[in-house]
Amino acid sequence: MKKIHFKQLFTGENWLTSGATIEISSDGNIDAIVEGPTPHDAVQHSGIALPGMPNLHSHAHQRAMAGLAEHSTGEDNFWTWRQVMYSQLRLMQPEHLHAIAAQAYVEMLKSGYTAVAEFQYLHHDQKGRHFANKAEMSLSCMEAARETGIGLTCIPVLYTYSGFDKQGCNNGQRRFHNQLDEYLEILRIVESTSKGYANCNTGIAPHSLRAVDVALINQLLDAVPSGPVHIHIAEQYSEVEDCLAIFGKRPVAWLLDNVDVDARWCMVHATHIDDKELRCLLASKATVGLCPTTEANLGDGFFPAQAFSSKGGRFGIGSDSQVSISPVEELRWLEYGQRLLKQQRVVLGDTHAGESLFKNALSGGAQASGRNIGSLAPGRRADIVVLDENHPRLVCRSKSQLIDSWIFSGNENPVYQVFVGGEQVVQNGQHKNEKAISARFAATMSALSKSHE
Ligand SMILES: [Zn+2]
């Protein structure tokens, strides 16, 4: 039994401001939280303990191209960005992905994410052939998670077509393509490997309605009847137009009409929905995956967050394309987008915008990951982010003001200790393996850029 005492603690629901000890059992779960002064056998930490934030949508490989798609070619949009992304990952090998994912995961941990849902669609070699181990690329991400200590929901992605009319995959997509039986082989390998890692589970993902049709989604659900299900659903308006042209329905409506969508589901980028789709999405109890910095970077559009969240809609946040790896920036821009649209202030929160966004994203992220995370309570993983109480952004703040100030004041990072499953992975703002992981990332970027020349 490990005992860690904090001066202040937010459980995800309540503030304990006169000190609290988290008792952690050997499996990394919280056994008890006891209010009061430091017991003689506890380790004392000053600072403010919060539940770690789940990152519900990540493509680790895109960390390698963050910032490299900002040069204009004249008519720039999501689809021209996608071409750049395809060309960037053309030469990526499992060892490269491992190095890039480890760098991304270190950055996540240092920013306050303690878990990541990795939506992994890069499965094959450059010629589109299986690796000797068909799950090699997904296992590279899992190894990076294990090395860095971040919690992982490993989600291999099923990608079968290149469009709503079931065209075959194009050259840029041949590393993604699988038939259902091949995909299930990959999934089974990932599932069995994940059993050796206490902070890991698995999920499934039909990539999008562009890449998988509803009949195939239903076959996938029959084969895998439990655990998280993630999908890219309505990110670009042209997807809505294509879906309408072929099926006569918008993507969210088409999915909800043909597939049993429930709380297992995470609808990533449900950006373009009408009022009826919003009501049906609420009734489904699915989580919506919002990635405001990526959605802004790609010019996707605005999700109707106020209408959704004011009716109890569940949402979480993701770093997606890794243009920013920061729960603060995702939550801040989620709120700012709505303020700019509505010309109002404090749109998504109740009385405290920062704390309210933080709470909602914790519980939505936990639901989407299908893991016992997202709050500090008995039975949950001991995933703890500790803010420096003496940081200039946080001095003379109490309770809700602390999270409001973290989210809405400045950019210096007050995260200084991070624990995942009770193990400390960030100490005084530094990850335990940061130097070696950064050096390997730099060497990998150098190797990949040379091979592009
Ligand atoms: Zn994505």
220 CB-near residues (< 8 Å, 6+ apart): 158, 180, 183, 204, 206, 212
| Distance (Å) of CA 193 to CA 95, 140, 190, 244, 352 | 18, 11, 5, 40, 42
For residues 117 and 54, the answer to whether their CB atoms sit within 8 Å is: yes
Q: Is 452 a catalytic residue?
A: no
Q: What pLDDT score does 120 carry?
A: 98
Per-residue buried b or exposed e for 219-228, using 16+ beta carbons within 10 Å of the residue's own CB? ebbeebeeeb
For residues 120 and 157, the answer to whether their CB atoms sit within 8 Å is: yes
Counting as low any pLDDT under 70, the low residues of the chain are 451-453
The rounded Å distance from CA 115 to ligand 1 centre is 16
Tens digits of per-residue pLDDT, 320-374? 999 999 999 999 999 999 999 999 999 998 789 999 999 999 999 999 999 999 9
Q: What pLDDT score does 451 carry?
A: 62
The rounded Å distance from CA 6 to ligand 1 centre is 36
Is residue 143 classed as helix, strand or coil in its secondary structure?
helix
The rounded Å distance from CA 199 to ligand 1 centre is 22
Q: Which of 5, 45, 57, 269 is catalytic?
A: 269
The rounded Å distance from CA 397 to ligand 1 centre is 36
The rounded Å distance from CA 110 to ligand 1 centre is 22
* Lookup result for tokens 């920036």: 329
The rounded Å distance from CA 208 to ligand 1 centre is 10
For residues 386 and 49, the answer to whether their CB atoms sit within 8 Å is: yes
State the DSSP code for 36.
Answer: S
Q: Is 431 a catalytic residue?
A: no
Q: What pLDDT score does 453 carry?
A: 52
The rounded Å distance from CA 264 to ligand 1 centre is 18
Tokens of 308: 């959704």
Q: What pLDDT score does 452 carry?
A: 56
Q: Hey, how many other C-beta atoms are within 10 angstroms of the C-beta on 378?
A: 12
Tokens of 387: 């803010």
Burial of 18 (0-12, 13-18, 19+ CB in 10 A): exposed
d(CA 80, CA 335): 28
d(CA 285, CA 317): 16
Q: What pLDDT score does 106 carry?
A: 98
d(CA 177, CA 95): 20
Q: Which of 31, 213, 300, 320 is catalytic?
A: 320
Q: Which domains, and CATH codes, for the chain? A: 2-51+376-435 (2.30.40.10), 53-369 (3.20.20.140)
